[in-house]
Amino acid sequence: MLPDLVMSKVWKIGVAGLGTVGGGLVKYLVEHPGFAPAGGKAVVTGVCARSRSRPRDFDIATFDWYDDPVLLAQSPQTDIFVELIGGSDGPAKVAVEAALALGKPVVTANKALIAEHGAELARLAEAHGAPLLFEAAVMGGTPAVKMLREAMVGDEVISVAGILNGTCNYILTEMESHERAFADVLGEAQAKGYAEADPTMDIGGFDAAHKITILAALAFGCAPNYAAAEIEGVERVELLDIRLARELGYRIRLTASAEKAGDGISVRVHPALAPIAHPLSQTVGATNALFIKGVRIPRIFIQGPGAGEGPTAAACCADIADVMTGAVRPVFQKPATQLKTPKPIDAAHRTGQAYLRLMVRDEAGALAAVTEALAEAGVSIDSFLQKPVEDEGRVPIVLTTHEVAETKIMDAVTRLAALPQVLESPRLIRIARA
């Protein structure tokens, strides 16, 4: 039975950042202060944002206003500090540090902050007995963090992989379903608000890299190591590749993965081909999806909304409820003092399959030169597709490889690029594991 104090306590919530998520959270708590299953009330007492006068669909006059998020974090009227400002440094980081230093629980949706400074913040939080929770930082309202932080503690996680950026998934889905070029779909996504005016964080793969860095730390009980993530975005994905991949029985998705092998951990973001029947190929639009593989639990698949006012605010509420019930656990599965920075997996020990697209001269001997270069690199062909001549003197050749060491695939790309018959840099896209 829970103590009467837990069931009756009023928790004063300070919210820094009143954008889409912050606004959704405030509105929900105003309407449902007693939402937590264990009882007690969560009451917003103070707020902070860049502009006090900005039009909003809720009244901020009933809350204390703070121009400085640090003062909100330090206020005696704040029991739980919710950081929704964003950014890996600056006001967000300083305010979170201020709250933790006073032993105050922090709830954040700031993926960049946790991915880049998670280890030091974990040390600060645990030194002062303050919970640091970030369910909303990864996959919005889909409980990826809780799955790894809580549900998988009885197993050893081997890998996590999936689609963690809804903007890129929307773009790739639209390119395929409506035969539209990347730039055209990106412009529409910006107009609809799916992509930022500067879309670099999304289409460059950096947003997904922040998220998979966090999941890797939770999965493997290590310090987040964003600096070691290998990142490739979707900017170079062409409509031609989407068409050719479909002819080969695949769809292209931006995948994020973290894999453990021995003492090493690989954290990567890159476009990948997934078989059309694969759950990742069936994940369309702005939806997110994640596979978790363990020793005892071979495979878990979760799918759901990765962003948006309602889903992300709901994830923040789940963390607030955990604080209200007194849930205590290390930030990243192990005490912060025991967290180690993982070693990257040596590329020589990584294997995979790949899609290669070549634009070659339409002349005798071109195909023989390609196959010879692949053989010299130790790469064998799994499937092959040669398209009719589209431009005079140029013909696209597409092939997929068998499973092989990645170093051999990269050697093959180098050899192919050097061939006089190859007219432009080969296009390499990895093939997702089943």
The residues with which 429 forms a beta bridge, in sequence order, are: 355
Which DSSP state fits 142?
A: S
Q: Which of 217, 409, 192, 179 is nearest to 307 (CA)?
A: 192
Distance, in Å, from the CA atom of 245 to the CA atom of 175, rounded to the nearest integer, reads: 12
Q: Which residue has the tokens 């009719």?
A: 388
Whether 211 sits among the annotated catalytic residues: the reply is yes
Q: Which of 15, 185, 198 is nearest to 108 (CA)?
A: 15
Q: Which of 266, 159, 145, 138 is nearest to 207 (CA)?
A: 138
* pLDDT at position 2: 55
The residues with which 255 forms a beta bridge, in sequence order, are: 270
Give the residues of the chain that fall short of pLDDT 70.
Answer: 1-7, 388-391, 434
Task: Give CA 178 to chain center in angstroms.
Answer: 26
The values of phi and psi at residue 109, to 5°, are: -110, 15
- Which helix (DSSP H) or strand (DSSP E) does residue 356 occupy? strand 351-361
Q: Which of 211, 260, 334, 387 is catalytic?
A: 211
Residue type, 381: I
* pLDDT at position 6: 58
* pLDDT at position 389: 61
CB atoms within 10 A of CB 73: 27
pLDDT in tens, 1-59: 455 555 679 999 999 999 989 999 999 999 999 999 988 999 999 999 999 989 898 88
The values of phi and psi at residue 155, to 5°, are: -130, 170
* pLDDT at position 434: 63
* pLDDT at position 5: 52
* pLDDT at position 263: 80
CB atoms within 10 A of CB 21: 25
Distance, in Å, from the CA atom of 413 to the CA atom of 411, rounded to the nearest integer, reads: 5
What the chain holds in terms of domains, given with CATH numbers, is 4-141+314-338 (3.40.50.720), 144-305 (3.30.360.10), 347-431 (3.30.70.260)
